[in-house]
């Protein structure tokens, strides 16, 4: 009979139990006793399991309460207080000795970044969002012990704080989202050529899963640069004080950020620093006498002229084209003469002529191309009434 009993309960699937079906009818008096023993043992186990579940709930809090606490946390994690603030951790209670290869790679990557003098903080697993919530800037750390403590909790992605005491500026070169557009590295190379320079190849470089690149540079002492988006050119952003980038080793959609040049961040080149330094507000361009149809149209002309006048090198042609296209909608609607647009934008671009190969012929050609496109679009869409949506950013 011992083969029938498993943990004090009769096992109905054991060979010995199955053999009871073949017991002769003269011995059937034994069967009810066995059935009674089986049912009693099953009920006892059920009661003990219910008691264990109730004790667990009393110890850890109700399931509903735990659900409220964990709402908004990454899947498979819950919150836990740490010396650096509340972070999310795995419910399986695993530590680094049991962690997967991915987890070990993440903590090694985070420690490697810290060794280079940069502050890190956890991002949600497989995400670009901070796991620390608000105040991540103040919680980013260069303490290896705190880094190990954080990444023991979960396979967090790595956030690298830029600017500030990290003294690092990261140039983010994005890949185009459709065929025919330039990669951010191509645009940056063109800016470098205009300055008779080239992109440094010996600085820390990280390839991103989307096909982009992060170039790390050291900021000069006492220089504080903020974040920019498109200021240098199409598909080029920069991350300075108040910003962060996703660090190498992190995983997005199953693909990893990878170091392709493990050198120390090199000093920020002068030709990049000159274009990123905050500039004093320039003079408003001297516009010719215009006769717009309304005060709103007049304000739109002044605004677009301001953008053209203060466009950085490397973005001038693009800014001029967009300005002419926006004002061209007023031309198509009969609210502004085409000659006034050419005159206003030509005056605004005059300060760029002769600088880094930008000439008057290019100015006229760009304005003309944008106006033709806007006029054709206006004819197709019919008469325009009210304010163009493209002017309300």
The pLDDT of residue 96 is 43
CA distances from 128 to 26, 123, 150, 250, 389 (A): 74, 6, 16, 9, 32
- What pLDDT shows up at residue 46? 45
Mean pLDDT of 343-358: 78
User: What whole-number distance in Å separates Cα of residue 306 and Cα of residue 288?
Assistant: 14
Burial (CB count within 10 angstroms: exposed 0-12, middle 13-18, buried 19+), residue 74 = buried
Residue 290 has a pLDDT of: 55
Radius of gyration of the chain (CA): 34
The sign of the CA dihedral 162, 168, 169, 173 is negative
Q: Which residue has the higher pLDDT, 182 or 93?
A: 182
pLDDT for residue 235 is more than 60: yes
Backbone angles phi, psi at 266, to 5 degrees: -85, 160
Tell me which of 248 and 49 has the higher pLDDT.
248
Q: List the domain boundaries for the chain.
A: 2-60, 77-161, 164-276, 295-391
Asked whether residue 261 carries a pLDDT value surpassing 90, the answer given is yes
How confident is the model at residue 352, as a pLDDT? 77
Whether 140 shows a pLDDT value over 80: the answer reads yes
> Residue 185: is its pLDDT beyond 60?
yes
DSSP 333: T
Decide if 310 contacts 231 (C-beta within 8 A). no
Q: What is the CATH number of domain 164-276?
A: 3.30.2250.10
Summarize pLDDT for 276-325 with one digit per residue, the tens.
887 544 445 555 555 555 778 888 888 888 888 888 767 788 889 999 99
pLDDT at 141 exceeding the cut of 80: yes
327 pLDDT higher than 50: yes
State the Cα–Cα distance between residues 93 and 101, nearest whole angstrom: 17
In this structure, the number of other CB atoms found within 10 A of the CB of residue 102 comes to 12
DSSP 23: S
Per-residue pLDDT, 99: 46
Q: Tell me, what's the pLDDT at 296?
A: 80
* 43: pLDDT strictly greater than 60: no
Average the pLDDT over each of 41-55, 77-91, 160-174, 335-349 and give the range with the smallest value: 41-55
Q: Distance between CA atoms of 210 and 255, rounded to whole angstroms? A: 9
Name the percent of the chain lying above pLDDT 70: 64
Beta-carbon contacts of 141 under 8 Å, excluding residues fewer than 6 positions away, are: 84, 114, 119, 120, 121, 147
Whether residue 262 has pLDDT greater than 50? yes
Average pLDDT of the chain?
Answer: 75
The pLDDT of residue 58 is 39
pLDDT at 2: 44
CA distances from 105 to 11, 95, 130 (A): 46, 14, 19
**Residue 372: which of 336, 334, 321 has the closest Cα?**
321
Strands 213-218 and 266-267 come out as parallel
pTM of the predicted protein model: 0.53
Q: Which residues are paired to 165 by β-bridges? A: none
């Amino acid at each position: 009979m011992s083969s029938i009993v498993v943990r004090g309960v009769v096992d109905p699937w054991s060979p010995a139990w199955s053999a009871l079906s073949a017991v002769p009818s003269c011995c059937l008096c034994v069967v009810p006793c066995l059935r009674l023993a089986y049912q009693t043992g099953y009920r006892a186990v059920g009661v003990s399991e219910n008691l264990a579940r109730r004790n667990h709930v009393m110890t850890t809090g109700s399931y509903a309460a735990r659900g409220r606490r964990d709402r908004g946390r990454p899947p498979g994690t819950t919150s836990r207080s740490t010396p650096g603030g509340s972070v999310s951790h795995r419910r399986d209670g695993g530590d680094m000795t049991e962690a997967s290869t991915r987890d070990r790679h993440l903590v090694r990557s985070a420690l490697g970044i810290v060794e280079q003098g940069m502050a890190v903080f956890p991002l949600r697993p497989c995400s670009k969002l901070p796991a620390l919530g608000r105040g991540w800037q103040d919680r980013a750390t260069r303490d290896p012990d705190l880094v190990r403590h954080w990444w023991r909790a979960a396979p967090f992605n790595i956030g690298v704080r830029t600017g500030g005491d990290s003294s690092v500026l990261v140039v983010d070169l994005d890949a185009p989202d459709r065929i025919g557009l330039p990669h951010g590295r191509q645009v940056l190379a063109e800016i470098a050529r205009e300055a008779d320079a080239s992109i440094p190849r010996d600085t820390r470089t990280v390839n991103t899963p989307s096909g982009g690149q992060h170039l790390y540079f050291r900021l000069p002492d006492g220089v504080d640069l903020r974040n920019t988006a498109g200021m240098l050119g199409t598909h080029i952003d920069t991350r300075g004080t108040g910003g962060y980038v996703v660090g190498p080793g992190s995983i997005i959609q199953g693909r990893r950020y990878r170091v392709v040049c493990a050198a120390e961040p090199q000093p920020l080149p002068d030709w990049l620093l000159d274009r990123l330094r905050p500039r004093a507000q320039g003079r408003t361009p001297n516009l010719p006498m215009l006769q717009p149809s309304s005060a709103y149209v007049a304000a739109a002309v002044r605004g677009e002229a301001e953008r053209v006048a203060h466009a950085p090198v490397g973005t001038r042609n693009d800014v001029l084209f967009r300005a002419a296209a926006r004002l061209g909608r007023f031309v198509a609607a009969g609210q502004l003469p085409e000659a006034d647009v050419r005159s206003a934008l030509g005056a605004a671009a005059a300060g760029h002529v002769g600088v880094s190969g930008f000439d008057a012929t290019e100015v006229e050609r760009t304005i003309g191309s944008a106006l033709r496109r806007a006029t054709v679009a206006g004819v197709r869409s019919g008469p325009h009434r009210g304010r163009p949506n493209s002017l309300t950013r």
